[in-house]
Amino acid sequence: MRRWLLVFFFLGSVLLGAATWGMSYLRYMLVCYDSKYSLMYHVLDGSSYFRGGHWGPTGVPFHVGQIDEFTAATPSYFYSNSRFHFLGFAFDPAFITTPTEDDWLVIIPLWFPTSLGGLGLLLAWRRKKRLDSRSSKGSQWVPRL
């Protein structure tokens, strides 16, 4: 039973990652946490963006919307202006969008968690098949030394 739970967990993570990845090209999502130090999470254009800084309250705790011209240009701007970027990953410890804002930026492409879920699913499935084949042999199975 535990083996099936592990397989279903990784299958769910693959399906959730693939659905988020596909929908991120049609709609965007924005989640904000406002306090003295603000955090922002975007899902847009096949990537997830994490930003943090001292820009004050945004007034928008959660928003899902259509992609317009401004939002469509945001990923390429963030990615190309970040200090370190490679294969869709980006990191900038001092990402400055305006002269008054000083924040950080981390970009993780959505193919990465989907691939990790797929790898976990493959390993869980192989382990399940190996353990099932051992249990089906019954008393004929002798452990290897």
Question: pLDDT tens string for the chain (145 positions)?
Answer: 677 788 888 888 888 888 888 887 777 777 777 666 677 777 877 788 777 776 666 666 666 777 676 666 677 777 777 888 888 888 887 766 665 566 788 888 888 888 888 898 888 888 777 777 766 655 555 556 5
Distance from C-alpha of 1 to C-alpha of 34, rounded to nearest angstrom: 42
* Helix orientation angle between 2-23 and 111-137, rounded to the nearest 10 degrees: 160
* Measured distance CA(128)–CA(44) in Å, rounded: 36
Q: Alpha-carbon torsion 57, 98, 105, 65, what sign?
A: positive
| Entry pTM | 0.67
CB 58 within 8 Å of CB 38: yes
